[in-house]
Structure formats: C-alpha cells, structure tokens
Structure 1
Amino acid sequence: MSDPTPNEAPPIRDRDVVTSPDLARADGVRHAFFTRAGGLSRGIYAGLNAGVGSKDDAAAVRANRARAATYLGLPGAEIVTPWQVHSPDAVAVSGPFAGERPKADAVVTATRGLPIGVVTADCGPVLFADERAGVVGAAHAGWGGAVGGVLESTIAAMEGLGARRGDIVAVLGPTITRDAYEVGVDRLQAAIAADPEAEAFFFEGRTADKRQFDLPAYILARLRRGGVAASFVEHCTYGEEDRFYSFRRTTHRSEPDYGRQLTAIALER
C-alpha cells in the first residue's frame, strides 16, 4: 500500500478527540486523548491507529500520527512515544529519539513544540502538566506499571526538569473500567505484594478465582498519593467500541491484532 493521501478521510476534528478541562485551562499547553476517528487505517484497525508495533500498514500508521501532530498545532512534528514494556521507567526528552526508542512507559519534556505521548488499548494513558514550570509528561499505566510506580517516576522526572508536584495537574484518559476488567486472584496477590493499599481496588468476580479490578480508581489514588491533582475523563475503552481500540475486546473475539489509540501533549511554540 502506498502512503495514504490526505483526502482519504476528513481531518481530525474537535469532536473526534477527548479533552480535559483541567488541561485545557493550562496556558500554552495542547493535549488530546485521540479516539479511532479521523484516521486512515482499515479493517480491524479502522480509524486512527497509532500503534507502531501493530501489524497495520506502516504508511497508514505514519499518516495517522502526522494527522495527530497537525491537530495539536504542530504540523510536521514527530510525536515522541517510547517503546512501552509495562515498566516503571520514565525518560526525559528534548527532541525525537535518535535510533531505537528506549524501553520505558513514560516520557516528559520541557521543550516547546515537541509533542510527546503514549499509545494504549485498555491501559491508562495519563497526561501531566505543570503550566508554571513549563513541563509536561505522558505515561502508560496498565496494572503492572501503576503498581510498579510509573506514575511516581513520571512525577519525579518532571521535577528533574523543574516542575513542582504541587503545581502538576494529571488527567487519566480513556481506560478499561471495573465492570470490564476481570483478572485472576494471582494478579490481586501480585499487586498487594507490591502495594498493600491496592487490595481496596479489587472486587468480587464471577467466580471464586476471579476479581474485578478498578484500574481508573487505582491510578487516581496513586496520583493523589503522589501529591498531584488528578481526574479521569470517564470513558471506557472496552465498552465504547466505536470510539476506542481494546486489547481485551480483541482477545475475547479471537481477532489477530488490535489498534492503539494515541494520547499526546505538547507545550506550544
């Protein structure tokens, strides 16, 4: 497939993205929790698939990410996303990665005009901004990353660039929610071993060996425990099929692969 042409789909519109009033109030900050709308991918990836690691046509993924940068007011910019591995690691950047992307699950920057982000398909995408210091961040927080400390690592990395946690606003984007997120008791035990307070976010499942995990509530609790203001946009990736990709929904349907939605933030030039 050749590179898709711009007229194959309408540009991304405001109604195609989810935004947060808490971040929209930050002067000089642009952000978006992108949905499936406004993209060029087809088939099971239909829409704005931003997953470099998916088996989607690479040209379509590049075009989708370029469209997202344009929506953020940064046409031609490369949105910097790490090689996500469900780790607690955060990296500070001042420009696009040279060569192979680092294996990490959060990225922060104080560089104006540099969009940064993460991709997700049920895990929690979290955007951070310290308007006063001019520092922003993006984190990929699945259960492992959240329990392991990726949110706290992001805050610490932002502080390394001059942010103050009391001035940081964090917003959790579209994420799988409690009713759709069934896990085994082994995951409960692993979470408690790393963080005893995690137990309060696991609830009775359909069978004795299952639990329902409230990942959004747990992420918000960890953020607030870390000393930052935090909110959730209240969208479920599993339940809103027309708007979001979902790894778990794909698994339940035995589909061969899945798309990833992009979450991004940037300091205006």
Structure 2
Amino acid sequence: MTIDVIRAKSLGEVRHGFLGRRGGVSTGAYASLNVGIGSDDDPGAIVENRRLASEAVLPGGTLVGLYQIHSADVVTVIAPFDDSLRPRGDALVTNRPGVALGILTADCAPVLFADAEAGVVAAAHAGWKGALGGVTDATILAMEAIGARRDRIVAAVGPCIARASYEVDDAFIRRFCESDPENERFFADGRADHYQFDLEAYVVSRLAVAGIGRIEALGLDTYADRERFFSYRRATHRDEPSYGRQISIIGL
C-alpha cells in the first residue's frame, strides 16, 4: 500500500508531508503506518514505519522527533539526534539541510511552518493544552531567532479532530474563555452542558493574531476518517485497547 502523503499548497516546494495511517508494515489496531514510539506496537515495525515516512518526504534525510508533553516548549535542532535521546517538547525548528522534523498526532493539530527564503522550517504539535499555552507563538519566535522573518513565514494546519467530532464539557470552555472571552466563538452548542470545540479554527486564529499572513487549514477530520487516520478519541469511544500515531514531517 502506498504511503499517504498529504501536502499543503501554501508550503510550495519545501519538502513536507502530513502522513496518514496507510503504507506501513504494522498490523492489527496499528495498521499500517504507526510511528508512535510510545505505543505497544512491534518496535521493529515502528522503526521501519518511521524510516518509510521519512524517505517519503525527505529522501536521504534524518528524522528527528520529540517526547511530546502538550507544552509550548520548542527545540532548535542544530544536528540530528537518535530517537533514544528525544528531548521533551512540542515543536522543532531548524535551518539545517537534511534534518526531517517529525511531529506525532492522533487528533491534535500538526502545524508545519516555513520561511523558504531564509531556509528555516518548523513543526509543532498543537493539542488543546499546547495551543492554549502558545506553542505556535513560541515556534514563530524560535524561527525568528535563527533567521526567519515573521512576514515571510507560511503555516499549514494538518489533519486533526474537527468540531463535529470534538465534544467538550463546561469546564473546558470556561478554561478557554477565562484566557480570552473572544474564544467563545470557537465553541458550538452540543448536548446539555456540552459543546463542540473547533481546534483547527483556534490554531488558525492564533497564527493570524501572531502575524502569519498565509495560513492553510486542510480541514481533514482524524476522528471521522477511520481508514485514513489514527484517532485517540475514536479509539477511546470504541473501547479499543490502543491506537496508533501518524506523523507530519518537514525538512530542507
């Protein structure tokens, strides 16, 4: 099966891809391109899937990733490092050719950034905690620190859980509205005392407020498309024992 590489028009010729679950070697609940090191999948299959994913986006490059913690912490990569040495954080930035920055998701929003003129790229993992905490803002600042210009940065938001699939409770919406009352616009009414949260729109708004002039949202729902994407929430609702992770990659 061919690896499903989804590309954003806005990122142009920059090597990148939002990958789905197709085209790997894992089986069962993890079929088939599970790249989640923390999952209970066969370790050998995970290693091979990560190799296949990296080659599909940046042939000959070296894939680097993080121990993701739903934070706003950013790691600037000056040289490749082994998966066993993954630092904690939720965004990666580099200006070094041959380094493939990889972010794992299974409903959270992957965000890929590029200032092609400066030769600076980044990848961020924006779950609700990280998005609210400012992971995209921190990523932009880290890009600027190594030569990017904010008015040239392009950002693309990849497959994530959509509003129709993302039910939250009253405590959740209060957290966002206490941060900024205008955040109420990202919630729609659901069943009694529940709401539907638009994570993708919230991330896009944060990018726009930060001064990113070109933002592309792919509008792909990880929860709704079982054949194409892994989803933590879908697996939970179906009482499945575990779930895989997909990867989004960008590099020079």
Q: Same fold (TM over 0.5)?
A: yes
Q: Which residue of 2 aligns with 1:56?
A: 41
Say whether the 8 Å CA contact 1:147–1:195 is kept in structure 2: no
TM-aligned CA deviation for residue 72 of structure 1: 1.9
Q: Which residue of 1 aligns with 2:8?
A: 20
Q: Which residue of 1 aligns with 2:77?
A: 93
Letter in 2 for 1:97: F
TM-aligned CA deviation for residue 190 of structure 1: 1.2
User: With structure 1 as the length reference, what TM-score do the two structures score?
Assistant: 0.90
Q: Partners of 1:197 and 1:216 in 2: how far apart?
A: 16
1:210 aligns with one of 194, 198, 201:
194
Q: Which residue of 2 aligns with 1:250?
A: 235
Say whether the 8 Å CA contact 2:115–2:149 is kept in structure 1: yes
Q: Partners of 2:62 and 2:47 in 1: how far apart?
A: 10
Say whether the 8 Å CA contact 1:148–1:194 is kept in structure 2: no
Q: Which residue of 2 aligns with 1:78?
A: 62
Letter in 1 for 2:204: L
- Tell which deviates more after alignment, 66-75 or 218-227: 66-75
| 1:146-182 deviation per Cα after TM superposition (whole angstroms, max 9, x unaligned) | 1110000000010011101110000000010000000
1:175 aligns with one of 160, 175, 195:
160
2:186 aligns with one of 201, 204, 213:
201
**Within-5 A mapping of 1:18-167:** 18-23=6-11, 25-26=12-13, 29-75=14-60, 77-97=61-81, 100-167=85-152
DSSP 3-state at the match of 2:99: coil
User: With structure 2 as the length reference, what TM-score do the two structures score?
Assistant: 0.96
Q: Which residue of 2 aligns with 1:5?
A: none
Q: Percent identity?
A: 49
DSSP 3-state at the match of 1:128: strand
Letter in 1 for 2:186: F
DSSP 3-state at the match of 2:155: strand
| 1:113-159 deviation per Cα after TM superposition (whole angstroms, max 9, x unaligned) | 10002000000000000001000000000111111100000000100
Q: Which residue of 2 aligns with 1:4?
A: none
Letter in 1 for 2:110: P
Say whether the 8 Å CA contact 2:2–2:22 is kept in structure 1: no
| 1:170-207 deviation per Cα after TM superposition (whole angstroms, max 9, x unaligned) | 00000100000001111111122233332210111111
Report whether the alignment pairs 1:188 with 2:177: no
Q: Partners of 2:228 and 2:187 in 1: how far apart?
A: 27
| Unmatched tracts of structure 2, length 5 or more | none
TM-aligned CA deviation for residue 73 of structure 1: 3.5
Two-structure CA RMSD over aligned residues (Å): 1.2
**4+ runs deviating over 6 angstroms:** none
TM-aligned CA deviation for residue 102 of structure 1: 1.5
